[in-house]
Chains A and B, each alone.
Chain A
Amino acid sequence: MTIEIKTSTLEPVRNTFAHIERRFGDKPATRYQEATYDVQSEEYLHYRPLWQPEKLLNDASRTAIKMNDWYAFKDPRQFYYGTYVQQRAKMQEVAENNYAFFERRNLANLLTEEMKAKLIRYLVPLRHAEHGANLNNMYASAYGYGTAITQACLYNGMDRLGIAQYLSRIGLILDGNSGDSLAEAKLNWTNESIWQGLRAYVEKMTVTEDWFEVLVAQDVVLDALILDLFYTQFDEWLQANGAQDVGMLTEFVQVWAKDTNRWVDATLKIAAAESDENKALLEQWISSWKESAVKALTPLAEEMLGAEAMTQASAALDKRLAKAGLFK
């Protein structure tokens, strides 16, 4: 049985905004559509930026990738601000419970000093790489074109700040809030030879001009390799060596990567499917950044996991590239 409340229904004059209707027809629109499509100003901009006078304020030519319609980059998660923060809030609630449980039960005490040292050497320095990812995604958000892709880059940029902060908290759990482990991890990041390849790669991205190339170098190439090395292979190693509880502290990143990769893969696929020129350019960028990334990460991967680790990570990346229709 259902009950029926009598309401007065008024016939609307129109279903949605005119630009949404022009794209999707005269029917009720979703909140994602109204919040996303054609929101960014495209024409009749007034002044060229003093900081880049050869370009317009909103200028599609800040990348060599060409799109007939930049709003082709539909986010499969359909994130606008409201859905984005609510999704992340759910994830952070789980993470908060995990961190609280870990601390309440003093699970750090179950880790040997040797294991703690490994975490400080291999996992905690990644917070700086995440900070680089924050800069790079902000870059794509600031200089990219069309709300569909730039809003997703902004969400990703803020996610990376959040991840850098979660990784820092792992350090604080290990050192009892003294901050010593963070200082040590930073020293690893700036001085230890195994980290220098990655640091050089990250620094290189921050001086790369084409924002789509930056996105490829960061979100496609580097993130796929890091995900596999640290959050799959190193995670398995931790499980096999009595440090499985650490998984409670990195679960956020694993769930996040699953969600974010849906967007990254879709973005890559859409850009590649647009034209042969785009596809060739993406393949060229990916090949060259992948080569540097593999070179950069190999010493770290070998010391952390062994000789096969890098090959395995590389294969994980290749699988995703093939799914996006590249290198075929």
Chain B
Amino acid sequence: MAKKLNIKDKYRLLTRDLDWDFSYEDRKEAFPFEEFEGIKITDWSKWEDPFRLTMDSYWKYQAEKEKKLYAIFDAFSQNNGHLNVSDPRYVNAIKIFLTGVSPLEYQAYQGFAHVGRQFGGVGARVACQMQSLDELRHVQTQIHAMSHYNKFFDGFQDYSHMHDRVWYLSVPKSFFNDARAAGPFEFMIAIGFSFEYVLTNLLFVPFMSGAAHNGDMATVTFGFSAQSDEARHMTLGLEVIKFLLEQHEDNVPIVQKWIDKWFWRGSRLLTIVAMMMDYMLPNKVMSWKEAWEVYFEEAGGALFKDLARYGIKMPKYAETIEKEKEHISHQAWWTFYTHGHAAGFHTWIPTDEELDWLSEKYPETFDKYYRPRWELAKKMEAEGKRFYTKALPQLCTTCQIPMLFTEMDDPTQICYRDTVYNGDRYHFCSDGCKDIFEDEPEKYVQSWLPVHQIFQGNCGGPDVENVLADFYRMNLGADNMDMTDSPDEKRWKQWKGVA
């Protein structure tokens, strides 16, 4: 009788043992990017496989999931599932998802394919390859989930074109470009660890929970289907950081610097999720502040306690980030409301009920700083004086978000920072973004800042209207501006038979 192999031995024989020492070529030429970041890998064989999945099982499990998922998609479109969403305003949340998040899944596919080719250790390589394939799954299933919405609502149709150009979409795009342009180990700390392990509960999950609370069966089914993939990605992210920290003590300060950078970058990126949760979901899941406390302060705090034994500290600016949870969603939605003609989705003033909910969830800040603005906007709108900002906002060179954030100790004062590099002055929204720039100025001077590009005449024109219509391919008044009286709303009323 053949002896029984345990999973670890089997995986070692079937996967880890496939590689060999080169004799005819220099192995460093085959895996050339491992050293320039200063990370020291002394022994790839110490890599602990975060999951031991062979391809035959992968195909089998994933095919079962796909079969179920597409059966739901088919049923969803056959039965006009979009009619079951809580309120047509909800659909704007998933417009942000398709234009802003799905293309990131694509970049994750590309980034993990890159490291899945480049790491010298076969265990790490294969784990990254599987994540690469999963990420391609996610972008494609998301496109298919949204495909039905695209047939009935405006604003989804040119998601790919818009992602490459539109001002606020350069925020997520540049975030992932930054990670992919970095070395392979920084990419893994940025995406594998910070993004997939720590921040995913604040990005991916809020959208899926939002879908669950608002009757969006297509999106939430995708979310459930991706759950086990995400679990695998999280174990990979955790293994990466432990492996790097255990390989060599010289890696610790490098990893800490990346953690500081990517948690700040990440918290900036999540601003749009904060706004989505607090303002765009007709049926709320929880407030952004609550989500931040549960998923970052509690869960993240416990994680960093665990990493303290390696000499890793809480990310820099954790105290600033803690204060920001009270403000950023309000500051962001106000910005989109006042730039509602330049957004790729509809905006609106919160209902009285929603204003009360915000007052309750943000007792320290909402009534004091933000509610008065909405009361004013309401009054102006009632008088037929709906306000749109005509000016283009100044952007932060690092995160590319308009200068909308305030000093956290003085929410009436916009936060401005700047620095001079090679004779040019660069502007930032925060100390965090300024520090990131100053650490790698030669990288961030390359930022393709949408507003600068418009002013330089690289986006058509001459007027902003031309840029929006021709360069962004936005249908003014259909894809954006107020939800009230939009084609989206009119069609919804027609489908529902209400006047």
Structural contact, B139 and A39, CB atoms closer than 8 A: yes
B369 an interface residue at 8 Å Cβ cutoff? no
Partner of B129, one of A14, A19, A138, A186: A138
Structural contact, B60 and A93, CB atoms closer than 8 A: yes
A200 an interface residue at 8 Å Cβ cutoff? yes
Which of B150-158, B317-325, B353-361 lies at the binding interface?
B150-158
B29 an interface residue at 8 Å Cβ cutoff? yes
Structural contact, B144 and A31, CB atoms closer than 8 A: yes
Structural contact, B113 and A154, CB atoms closer than 8 A: yes
Structural contact, A161 and B159, CB atoms closer than 8 A: no
Structural contact, A154 and B133, CB atoms closer than 8 A: yes
Chain B interface, DSSP helix/strand/loop, else mixed: helix
Structural contact, A138 and B113, CB atoms closer than 8 A: yes
A17 an interface residue at 8 Å Cβ cutoff? yes
Instruction: Give A173-201 as 1s and 0s: 1 = Cβ < 8 Å from B's Cβ atoms.
Output: 10011110010001001100000000110
Name the residue of chain B whose CB is nearest to the CB of A103: B2
List A contacts of B78 (CB < 8 A): 7
Structural contact, B181 and A49, CB atoms closer than 8 A: yes
**A40, B113: Cα distance in complex, Å:** 14
Which of A81-89, A229-237, A275-283 lies at the binding interface?
A81-89
List A contacts of B143 (CB < 8 A): 17, 34-35, 39
**A43, B17: Cα distance in complex, Å:** 41
Structural contact, A131 and B117, CB atoms closer than 8 A: no
Q: A13-B153, A50-B183, A82-B141 are in contact. Are A95 and B56 (CB under 8 A)?
A: yes
B19 an interface residue at 8 Å Cβ cutoff? yes
Instruction: Give B19-36 as 1s and 0s: 1 = Cβ < 8 Å from A's Cβ atoms.
Output: 111111110011011001
Question: Would you give the shortest CB distance from A132 to chain B, in whole angstroms?
Answer: 9
Structural contact, B183 and A51, CB atoms closer than 8 A: yes
Structural contact, B473 and A18, CB atoms closer than 8 A: yes
Structural contact, A138 and B55, CB atoms closer than 8 A: no
Which residues of chain A in 201-219 are interfacial with respect to chain B, using CB atoms and an 8 Å cutoff?
203-204, 206-207
List B contacts of A177 (CB < 8 A): 2-5
B163 an interface residue at 8 Å Cβ cutoff? yes
Which of B42-50, B413-421, B442-450 lies at the binding interface?
B442-450
Q: A10-B152, A42-B164 are in contact. Are A182 and B17 (CB under 8 A)?
A: yes
**A207, B117: Cα distance in complex, Å:** 12
List A contacts of B5 (CB < 8 A): 172, 177
List A contacts of B443 (CB < 8 A): 47, 50
Question: Would you give the shortest CB distance from A148 to chain B, in whole angstroms?
Answer: 13
**A46, B169: Cα distance in complex, Å:** 12
Structural contact, A14 and B113, CB atoms closer than 8 A: no
B385 an interface residue at 8 Å Cβ cutoff? no
Q: A47-B178, A177-B2, A203-B24 are in contact. Are A135 and B117 (CB under 8 A)?
A: yes
The interface centre, meaning the residue of B56, B62, B80, B173 with most chain A CB atoms within 10 A of its CB, is B56
Question: Would you give the shortest CB distance from A94 to chain B, in whole angstroms?
Answer: 11
List B contacts of A157 (CB < 8 A): 129
**A80, B142: Cα distance in complex, Å:** 13
**A312, B340: Cα distance in complex, Å:** 68
Chain A interface, DSSP helix/strand/loop, else mixed: helix
Which residues of chain A in 59-93 are interfacial with respect to chain B, using CB atoms and an 8 Å cutoff?
80-82, 85-86, 88-93
List B contacts of A48 (CB < 8 A): 181, 446
**A42, B103: Cα distance in complex, Å:** 12
Residues of A in contact with B, size category? 35 or more
Question: Would you give the shortest CB distance from A84 to chain B, in whole angstroms?
Answer: 9
Question: Would you give the shortest CB distance from A297 to chain B, in whole angstroms?
Answer: 15
Structural contact, B36 and A51, CB atoms closer than 8 A: yes
B256 an interface residue at 8 Å Cβ cutoff? no
**A34, B163: Cα distance in complex, Å:** 16
List B contacts of A86 (CB < 8 A): 63, 66-67
List B contacts of A244 (CB < 8 A): none
Structural contact, A15 and B17, CB atoms closer than 8 A: no
Structural contact, B19 and A131, CB atoms closer than 8 A: yes
Structural contact, B17 and A186, CB atoms closer than 8 A: yes
Structural contact, B59 and A88, CB atoms closer than 8 A: yes
Partner of B140, one of A35, A38, A131, A143: A35
Which residues of chain A in 115-155 are interfacial with respect to chain B, using CB atoms and an 8 Å cutoff?
127-128, 130-131, 134-135, 138-139, 141-143, 147, 150-151, 154-155
Structural contact, A81 and B137, CB atoms closer than 8 A: yes
**A57, B443: Cα distance in complex, Å:** 13
**Chain A contacts to B: CB under 8 angstroms:** 7-8, 10, 12-19, 31, 34-35, 38-51, 57-58, 80-82, 85-86, 88-93, 95-96, 103, 127-128, 130-131, 134-135, 138-139, 141-143, 147, 150-151, 154-155, 157-159, 161-162, 164-166, 168-169, 172-173, 176-179, 182, 186, 189-190, 199-200, 203-204, 206-207
Q: With contacts A39-B103, A41-B106, A51-B36 known, what are 7 further pairs, Cβ within 8 A?
A: A12-B151, A15-B151, A18-B158, A38-B160, A40-B110, A57-B110, A138-B132
Q: List 12 A-B contacts (CB under 8 A).
A: A18-B161, A35-B140, A46-B177, A47-B444, A57-B110, A81-B137, A85-B59, A135-B30, A154-B109, A165-B54, A172-B13, A177-B3
Across the A-B interface, give the 6 residue pairs with the lowest CB-CB distance, nearest first.
A89-B63, A162-B55, A12-B151, A131-B18, A142-B113, A200-B24
